[in-house]
């Protein structure tokens, strides 16, 4: 993949500052170290950094249509490029490159804003219709590729990463307290809101349209949705009588998804954990290639967290040459500041730091593309909270939902400060209670425990659930499990797994990650099948996947219970703290930021540092990591002065040949 950035005069008259645009693209050099490109037109300046994977010799951007009236700057991959190219050529289009990027300008010529239904892949791009003076900024269906934007007066800024927008020097960096509240509620950021006031994310499955006007008046920024995850109404799900029919369909669909993601003009490798998801991806990839695809595995040297032996069993079975990357508490603590810089926001899940190191080793060995198994748990109910919720829902009968009462009672017991009316209000915002309700309730305990009085006043009663982009009317028609899966796609998938664990840590190391389980056809099939093919008898998660995997892998791998990939919390940061931890959680630093209750944070931190804290208080540890991570983010992006670590690194020195302005 690549990185894009741009400056648009919404009045369409002033020329964007080339120096500012070059600073923006330089700041995301890691996303595309191979080359850069620029497009300038009246009121428009767009830049791109390229990580060349397809069309190595002639894929330089911008890329135009035949008469150069339409141009595109692009980050991503369209995996069905050869088939789409043939269809477009049959309709008379002429291609000048071997890059999948060129599909976009021709699809726009034929379909205009209807082009999105023809895009199959992962992408964020800016299409410019130079004749109509129209720009479309779009993001893929599930949010694999990031895209952010900000309006400052009559100027519009955008970038693949927020750090690119800030590098312009024309957009101020300030905290959005409501964005911070997302971290302490969902431990992810999957909505329009970011940690920065005045900077937004383009939602997955959405695009922005900017129509520059001829009268010099300011153009509007119009947001439109072109896709959303959908499920059949409860009772209308696909549930064939012959299991082999469905298993065969899933097998063929998934095989096709892996095959498409092996398309590249550079070698492709894969991540391999101890679970079924990545093993299934690599088993298919190796079978398609006819030889073992190289794999990369993280080793966490903590007995309960170490998946190395399980991953090695799978690698031997599929004959995959395996690299094991050692990530102990010290490695994670050392990598953590780089992770925060990469993500542009606090990151609570410490395993993201180990994935940062994993991508670094992939890059060090000269690879640019890695397959990964993310998306399976969201499609096929792999997490423990889906199982717990199914057990509670056994109480429901004939339209009555005692499970809702049980959920609220459990939440009330764990969080007495949250009233039942507040719980009901939250449930209405998500068509719930849902499978994640109890978990997010536990996560949010840290809001009550650690927020300062000033932060609570600034939030003024706002809760993060208000920002979730959910289609509540459609949700009410779905099976309860599908409602929970929908929430997972909207929050945890795009806000954590594809962001902090996916694009940002990979692209920080100039590596593109690809996701067969997030293929359009795989998602469509998993969405329409009956919930019993996803979760059976509250024990067998990902049932359809496991039945299919038994064709490729030994039973002990195909039926292996789900285990959350985690890295140590307290062990990494509190038991043997690196110097920056004590500095960030010092009374002085906590008072400087003002986000947190100094006395409460200090009490719990010192208790952990003394070695006396219980290792079973998982959500308390998460809360302290949330505080630490927020302090580190503030230090990195909002002025420093909290610890000895450097602030966000300056724009890298880039040896740039003279770029051809177009």
Residue 270 belongs to domain with CATH number: 3.40.50.620
The average pLDDT across 383-410 equals 88
Where is the domain boundary, 193, 225, 257? 225
Contacts of 536 (CB under 8 A, 6+ apart): 543
The pLDDT score that the predictor gives to residue 658 is 47
Domain presence at residue 647? no
The pLDDT score that the predictor gives to residue 563 is 67
Q: Do residues 275 and 394 share a domain? A: no
pLDDT at residue 662 tops 50: no
Cα–Cα distance for residue pair 399/625, rounded to 1 Å:
42
For 98-128, what is each residue's pLDDT tens digit? 999 999 999 999 999 999 999 999 999 999 9
Instruction: Quote the crossing angle between the two packed helices 520-528 and 243-261, to the nearest 10°.
Output: 160
Phi, psi for residue 60 in degrees, rounded to 5 = -65, 145
Q: 269 lies in which domain range?
A: 243-374+498-558
Cα–Cα distance for residue pair 45/47, rounded to 1 Å:
7
SS (H, E, C) 243-293: HHHHHHHHHHHHHHHHHHHCCCCCCEEEECCCCHHHHHHHHHHHHHHCCCC
Task: Tell me which range, 237-246, 253-262, 647-656, is most confidently predicted by mean pLDDT.
Answer: 253-262
Q: Do residues 125 and 48 share a domain? A: yes
Domain presence at residue 563? no
Beta bridge partners of 41: 44
Q: Do residues 134 and 220 share a domain? A: yes
Tell me which residue of 283, 488, 280 sits closest to 380, measured CA to CA: 488
CA distances from 431 to 293, 392, 425, 468, 478 (A): 43, 17, 10, 12, 10
Where is the domain boundary, 447, 479, 511? 479
The average pLDDT across 418-432 equals 93
The pLDDT score that the predictor gives to residue 306 is 84
Q: Do residues 283 and 349 share a domain? A: yes
Cα–Cα distance for residue pair 362/418, rounded to 1 Å:
46
Under the banding of pLDDT at 50, 70 and 90, the label for residue 453 is very high
Question: What is the edge-to-edge ordering of all strands in the sheet holding 63-64?
Answer: 63-64, 70-78, 121-129, 134-139, 206-211, 221-225
How do 155-159 and 3-9 pair as beta strands? antiparallel
Residue 129 belongs to domain with CATH number: 3.60.20.10
pLDDT at residue 652 tops 70: no
Q: Do residues 327 and 442 share a domain? A: no
Residue 54 corresponds to which tokens in the numbers above? 């397809």
**Least trusted range by pLDDT, from 155-159, 231-235, 537-541:** 537-541
The average pLDDT across 375-399 equals 90
Q: Do residues 350 and 475 share a domain? A: no
The pLDDT score that the predictor gives to residue 615 is 58
Tell me which residue of 555, 563, 549, 637 sits closest to 593, measured CA to CA: 637
CA distances from 452 to 155, 463, 591, 601, 621 (A): 35, 16, 10, 10, 18
Note the pTM of the prediction, 2 decimals: 0.94
Domain presence at residue 644? no
More reliable by pLDDT, 92 or 576: 92
The pLDDT score that the predictor gives to residue 117 is 95
Domain presence at residue 138? yes
The pLDDT score that the predictor gives to residue 570 is 56
Whether the Cβ atoms of residue 188 and residue 345 lie closer than 8 Å to each other? no
Domain presence at residue 235? no
Q: Do residues 152 and 82 share a domain? A: yes
Tell me which residue of 596, 1, 40, 544 sits closest to 276, measured CA to CA: 544
pLDDT at residue 649 tops 80: no
Under the banding of pLDDT at 50, 70 and 90, the label for residue 305 is confident
Q: Do residues 295 and 221 share a domain? A: no
Domain presence at residue 164? yes
Contacts of 270 (CB under 8 A, 6+ apart): 278, 281, 282, 285, 293, 294, 295, 296, 320, 370, 371, 372
Residue 433: asked if its preceding bond is cis (omega within 30°), the reply is yes
Cα–Cα distance for residue pair 77/54, rounded to 1 Å:
8
The pLDDT score that the predictor gives to residue 552 is 94
- State how many domains the chain has: 4
**Least trusted range by pLDDT, from 285-289, 349-353, 356-360:** 349-353
Q: Do residues 116 and 137 share a domain? A: yes
Cα–Cα distance for residue pair 52/11, rounded to 1 Å:
34
Identify the helix (H) or strand (E) that includes residue 582: helix 579-584
Under the banding of pLDDT at 50, 70 and 90, the label for residue 659 is very low
Mean pLDDT rounded to a whole number for the chain: 92
Tell me which residue of 395, 436, 386, 440 sits closest to 415, measured CA to CA: 440
Angle among Cα 199, 472, 481 to the nearest 5 degrees reads 110
Whether the Cβ atoms of residue 105 and residue 127 lie closer than 8 Å to each other? yes
SS (H, E, C) 474-510: HHCCCCHHHHHHHHHHHHHHHHHHCHHHHHHHHHCCC
Domain presence at residue 489? no
Domain presence at residue 258? yes
Q: Do residues 365 and 394 share a domain? A: no
Q: Do residues 146 and 221 share a domain? A: yes
**Helix residue ranges per DSSP H, 126-214:** 162-167, 177-186
For 544-571, what is each residue's pLDDT tens digit? 999 999 999 998 888 887 766 666 655 5
The pLDDT score that the predictor gives to residue 660 is 43
The pLDDT score that the predictor gives to residue 560 is 81
Where is the domain boundary, 196, 225, 254? 225
Q: Do residues 431 and 514 share a domain? A: no
Cα–Cα distance for residue pair 636/649, rounded to 1 Å:
9
For 470-526, what is each residue's pLDDT tens digit? 999 999 999 999 999 999 999 999 999 999 999 999 999 999 999 999 999 999 999
Q: What is the dihedral of CA 512, 517, 521, 524, to 10 degrees?
A: -130
């Amino acid at each position: 993949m690549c990185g894009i950035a741009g400056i648009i005069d919404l009045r369409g008259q002033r020329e964007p500052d080339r120096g500012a645009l070059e600073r923006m693209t330089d700041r995301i050099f890691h996303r595309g170290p191979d080359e850069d490109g620029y497009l300038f037109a009246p009121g428009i300046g767009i830049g791109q950094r390229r990580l060349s994977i397809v069309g190595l010799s002639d894929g330089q951007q911008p890329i135009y249509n035949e008469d150069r009236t339409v141009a595109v700057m692009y980050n991503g991959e369209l995996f069905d490029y050869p088939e789409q190219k043939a269809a477009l050529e049959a309709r008379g289009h002429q291609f000048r490159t071997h890059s999948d990027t060129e599909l976009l300008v021709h699809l726009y010529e034929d379909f205009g804003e209807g082009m999105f239904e023809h895009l199959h892949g992962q992408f964020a791009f800016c299409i410019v219709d130079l004749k109509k003076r129209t720009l479309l900024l779009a993001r893929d269906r599930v949010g694999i590729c990031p895209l952010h934007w900000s309006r400052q007066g009559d100027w519009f800024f955008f970038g693949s990463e927020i750090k690119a927008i800030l590098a312009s020097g024309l957009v101020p960096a300030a905290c959005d307290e409501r964005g911070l509240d997302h971290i302490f509620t969902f431990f992810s950021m999957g909505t329009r809101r970011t940690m920065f006031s005045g900077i937004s994310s383009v939602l997955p499955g959405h695009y922005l349209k900017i129509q520059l006007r001829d009268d010099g008046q300011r153009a509007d920024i119009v947001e439109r949705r072109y896709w959303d995850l959908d499920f059949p109404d409860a009772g209308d799900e696909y549930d064939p009588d012959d299991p082999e029919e469905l298993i065969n369909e899933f097998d063929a669909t998934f095989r096709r998804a892996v095959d498409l993601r092996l398309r590249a003009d550079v070698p492709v490798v894969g991540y391999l954990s101890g679970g079924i998801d990545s093993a299934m991806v690599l088993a298919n990839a190796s079978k398609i290639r006819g030889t073992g695809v190289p794999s990369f595995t993280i080793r966490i040297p903590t007995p309960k967290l170490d998946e190395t032996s399980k991953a090695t069993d799978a690698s031997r079975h599929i004959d995959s040459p395996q690299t094991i990357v050692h990530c102990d508490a010290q490695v994670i603590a050392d990598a953590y500041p780089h992770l925060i810089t990469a993500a542009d926001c606090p990151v609570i899940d410490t395993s993201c730091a180990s994935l940062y190191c994993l991508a670094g080793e992939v890059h060090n060995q000269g690879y640019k593309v890695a397959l990964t198994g993310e998306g399976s748990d969201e499609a096929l109910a792999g997490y423990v909270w889906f199982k717990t919720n199914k057990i509670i829902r056994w109480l429901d009968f004939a339209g009555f939902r005692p499970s809702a009462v049980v959920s609220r009672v459990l939440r009330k017991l764990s969080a007495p400060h949250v009233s039942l009316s507040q719980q009901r209000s939250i449930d209405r915002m998500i068509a719930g209670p849902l499978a994640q309700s109890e978990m997010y309730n536990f996560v949010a305990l840290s809001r009550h425990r650690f927020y300062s009085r000033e932060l609570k006043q600034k939030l003024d009663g706002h809760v993060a659930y208000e920002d979730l982009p959910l289609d509540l009317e459609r949700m009410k028609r779905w099976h309860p499990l599908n409602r929970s899966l929908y929430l997972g796609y909207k929050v945890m998938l795009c806000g954590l797994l594809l962001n902090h664990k996916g694009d940002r840590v990979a692209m920080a190391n100039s590596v593109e990650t690809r996701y067969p389980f997030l293929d359009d056809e795989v998602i469509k099939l998993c969405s329409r099948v009956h919930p019993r093919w996803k979760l059976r008898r509250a024990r067998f998660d990902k049932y359809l996947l496991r039945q299919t995997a038994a064709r490729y892998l030994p039973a002990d791998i195909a039926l292996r219970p789900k285990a959350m990939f985690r890295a140590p919390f307290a062990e990494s940061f509190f038991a043997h703290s690196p110097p920056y931890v004590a500095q960030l959680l010092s009374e002085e630093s906590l008072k400087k930021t003002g986000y947190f209750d100094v006395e409460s944070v200090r009490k719990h931190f010192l208790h952990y540092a003394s070695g006396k804290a219980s290792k079973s208080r998982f959500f308390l540890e998460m809360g302290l990591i949330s505080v630490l991570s927020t302090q580190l983010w503030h230090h990195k992006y909002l002025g420093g002065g909290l610890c000895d670590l450097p602030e966000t690194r300056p724009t890298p020195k880039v040896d740039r040949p003279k770029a051809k302005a177009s």
